[in-house]
Structure 1
Amino acid sequence: MARRTVEVTPVDRDDLRDVTGLWLAARVDSGSSREAATRLVADGRLGWALRRPGVNVFVARLDGEAVGYAITTENPFGLSPQAELAIEQLWVAPAARRHGVAKSLIAAVLSAAERSGCELVVSNVPQASRDANRFFARLGFSSVIVRRVVSTSQLRRKLAPESCETGNELLRRRRSLRSRALPAASRPF
């Protein structure tokens, strides 16, 4: 059986329709609600982000149908003194996986990096995504850093001054108050 044809092209900044549809599918695939993703498109945030200077977008077509995309940014101030091209997002529709689409997208990214004079290509890969980590490792990407993420509200709680009650102190105090209130509550009127 002949391998299906994969074609990767840079996306014109004025025509982001294919990427928008794929981006919505990727957001839903990663667990976001369709409504939340649609709002980001409707209010123009996705289009604005993709039109920023230094952002490149590539779309992959399998037999003429858009099935994947890659978004890169030029990152001259990354982890190393050499100029870097960062793969911000790479996604392939589930039905089109294992047909060479992601590899074709990476080849387009490599060409863009070479044209820009970037000596490194970097990508943040989710730690829990075993398949993605294996894919990038097979292409020679190595682990350089561990990127840790925290919500702002959780970080605020952790940085709270010592005068504020911590979760354990608050729980202890509530249990103490509850234990004092129980005997009084059990008395008949």
Structure 2
Amino acid sequence: MVRSVVEVTPVGQQDVADLAAMWLASRVDSGITPEVAARFASEGRLELALSRPDVHAHVARLDGRAVGYVVTSENPFGLSPEPEVAVEQLYVDPSARRHGVARSLLCAVVGLAERAGSDVIVSNVPTQSREAHRFFARLGFSSVLVRRVVGTTQLRRRLAPQGGAHSAVDQLIRRRRSLRTLASRAG
């Protein structure tokens, strides 16, 4: 059986609709509800990101059908003295996985990194994606750091002084909780 050839090209105007559809699918695949993903798309987040000069996107086609994409950025944090290329998103349609699509997309990333003078390519891999971790590890990516994330509200609550003066909002929340507790005990 002959393997189909994967064609990877930079995203042009003719590819935007395909990229947007795959981007929505990738958001849903990562656990975001279709409604939230559609809202992100309607807010123009993808177009805004792609309009930045340091962001590059490539689309992969298998037998003429768009089946994957990669979005990269150069020096994502701007703190490194050496140029870096970061794989921000890499997505392959589930029906096209294990056909060399992700490898072909990463070949385009290597070309970008070489043109940018970057000796390093980094990728943020979701912690829950075992398959992605294995894929990147097989290609030689190593773990450098653990990126921890917290919601703003949760961090504010945890940073609040314990036992000291509390904001009016904190006092209101505490009062409501104690009233709910009293009401549930009485009822």
- Coarse TM-score class (shorter-chain normalised): 0.7 to 0.9
Give the C-alpha shift of residue 33 in structure 1.
Answer: 2.0
Q: What aligned pairs does 1:81-100 form with structure 2 within 5 A after superposition?
A: 81-100=81-100
Secondary structure of the equivalent of 1:56?
Answer: strand
1:54-79 Cα shifts (integer Å, max 9, x gaps): 10000011111000000000017557
1:10-50 Cα shifts (integer Å, max 9, x gaps): 11267511110100111111121222222222232221111
Q: Which residue is 1:23 aligned to?
A: 23
Q: Which residue is 2:8 aligned to?
A: 8
Amino acid aligned to 1:30: S
Q: Which ranges of structure 1 fall in alignment gaps of 5 or more residues?
A: none
Secondary structure of the equivalent of 1:52?
Answer: coil
Q: Say if 2:15 and 2:59, in contact at 8 Å, map to a contact too.
A: no
Q: Which has the larger radius of gyration?
A: 1
Check 1:136–1:67 CA distance in 2 against 1; reply closer, same or farther (3 A cut).
Answer: same
Q: Which residue is 1:63 aligned to?
A: 63
Taking structure 2 as the reference length, the TM-score comes to: 0.84
Check 1:62–1:15 CA distance in 2 against 1; reply closer, same or farther (3 A cut).
Answer: closer
Give the C-alpha shift of residue 126 in structure 1.
Answer: 1.2
Taking structure 1 as the reference length, the TM-score comes to: 0.83
Q: Say if 1:13 and 1:51, in contact at 8 Å, map to a contact too.
A: no
- C-alpha distance in 1, partners of 2:157/2:14? 43
Identical residues among aligned pairs (%): 60
Check 1:14–1:64 CA distance in 2 against 1; reply closer, same or farther (3 A cut).
Answer: closer
Aligned pair 1:51/2:51, yes or no? yes
Provide the alpha-carbon RMSD of the alignment: 2.7
Q: Which residue is 1:105 aligned to?
A: 105
Give the C-alpha shift of residue 150 in structure 1.
Answer: 0.2
How many residue pairs get aligned? The number is 177
- C-alpha distance in 2, partners of 1:97/1:132? 12
Q: Which ranges of structure 2 fall in alignment gaps of 5 or more residues?
A: none
Check 1:52–1:79 CA distance in 2 against 1; reply closer, same or farther (3 A cut).
Answer: closer
Secondary structure of the equivalent of 1:16?
Answer: helix
Q: Which residue is 2:152 aligned to?
A: 152
Give the C-alpha shift of residue 5 in structure 1.
Answer: 1.2
Which aligned runs of 4 or more in structure 1 are off by greater than 4 angstroms? 76-80
Q: Say if 1:84 and 1:118, in contact at 8 Å, map to a contact too.
A: yes
- C-alpha distance in 1, partners of 2:150/2:77? 23
- C-alpha distance in 2, partners of 1:130/1:52? 31
